[in-house]
Amino acid sequence: MKKIFNFVIFLLIFCFSAFAQEEITGKDLFEKMKQLDNKEVVIVGECIGDIIKGDKNTFIVNIRTDDNYFIGTVLSKEDAEKINHLGKYEEKGDIIKIIGIFHSNCPVHSGEVDIHCANMEILKEGEVYAEKIDMKRFIVGLVLLFIMLFFTKLSFTKSV
C-alpha cells in the first residue's frame, strides 16, 4: 500500500513538474494573466533594446516572444551579464529561456507587469547582421537628384 502511495505521489510530482516546465506563449500569458498571476511560468523570447537598471541590484530586460508579445523580466546582475546581444536594427538579440514568477501587477515594481526570473538560460546567441547596400535605392536616388535639380532650377528662375 505504501509503495502504491509513494508511486502515486511520485507520479503527481512528475506530472506537475513536467507541466510547470512547459513553455508558455506570449498570447497565453497575457490572455490568461489573471489565472497566471503570481505563478511560475516558463517563457522564451528575444532580448530587445537595453539592459535597464532596476532597484536593489536587479536588471530588467524586455523580451519579445515568437508570437510578438513583450514582457519585462527582472534578472539578477549575474544573469544580466550573460546577455551579449540585444535586439535592435540589424541585430538579433539573444534568445533566452526564463523560469520565473509572473506578476500581472507586480507588488515590488509598483504594479507593473513582469516576470521575476528564478532561472535564465541562453538558448541561442544573437548576431549582428552586416547591412548590404541596396543598389536599386541608390540608382533611384541618383535619378531623383537630377529631376530635383532640374525642377528647382526652373522654380528659382521663375521666382527671380
Partner 1 sequence: MIPQFSRDDFKVVIYYIGNLIVYLGIMMLLPLFVGIINNEINPSLDFIISSLLCLSIGNFIMYKFPYNPDINWRQGMSIVALSWIVCMFLGAIPLFLSGHYISYLDACFESMSAFATTGLVLVNDLDHMAYAYNFWRHFMCFIGGQGIILVGLTFSVRGGAGMKVYVGEGREEKIFPNIVQTARFIWAVSIIYLFLGTLVLFFICLFHNITPGRALFHSICIFMAGWDTSGFAVQSQNILYYHSAAINLVTTLICVLGAFNFAVHYTVWTGKIKELVKNFELKLFFGSIIVLSSIVCLGFLGHFSFPNFFSFFRLTFYHLVSAHTGVGYTNSTIYHFLNYWPSFSLIGLIIAMGLGGCSCSTAGGIKIIRIGIFFKGIKKEIKRLLFPDSAILVEKFHNIRDVFIQDNQVKYATNIIILYILFYFIGAMVGTFYDYPFLYSLFESVSACANVGLSVGITTPSMPTLLKITYILEMWFGRLEFISIFVVIGFIFSLRSPE
- Site residues (CB under 8 A) for partner 1? 30-31, 33-34, 48-54, 59-60, 62, 64, 68, 70, 72, 87-91, 104-107, 109-114, 131, 133-134, 137-138, 140-141, 144-145, 147-148, 151-152, 154-155, 158-159
Query: Minimum distance from CB of 123 to partner 1 (Å)?
Result: 19
Query: Minimum distance from CB of 12 to partner 1 (Å)?
Result: 30
In the bound state with partner 1, the residue whose beta carbon lies nearer, of 17 and 159, is 159
Cα 142 to Cα 58: distance, rounded to the nearest angstrom: 51
Backbone angles phi, psi at 158, to 5 degrees: -65, -45
In the bound state with partner 1, the residue whose beta carbon lies nearer, of 75 and 120, is 75
Query: Minimum distance from CB of 116 to partner 1 (Å)?
Result: 12
Question: What is the number of other CB atoms lying within 10 angstroms of the CB of residue 106?
Answer: 19
Query: Minimum distance from CB of 10 to partner 1 (Å)?
Result: 36
- Residues linked to residue 44 through DSSP beta bridges, in sequence order: 97
Cα 87 to Cα 46: distance, rounded to the nearest angstrom: 7
In the bound state with partner 1, the residue whose beta carbon lies nearer, of 25 and 54, is 54
CB 99 within 8 A of CB 79: no
Cα 89 to Cα 156: distance, rounded to the nearest angstrom: 40
Structure-block grid coordinates of residue 10: 511520485
In the bound state with partner 1, the residue whose beta carbon lies nearer, of 99 and 113, is 113
Structure-block grid coordinates of residue 146: 537630377
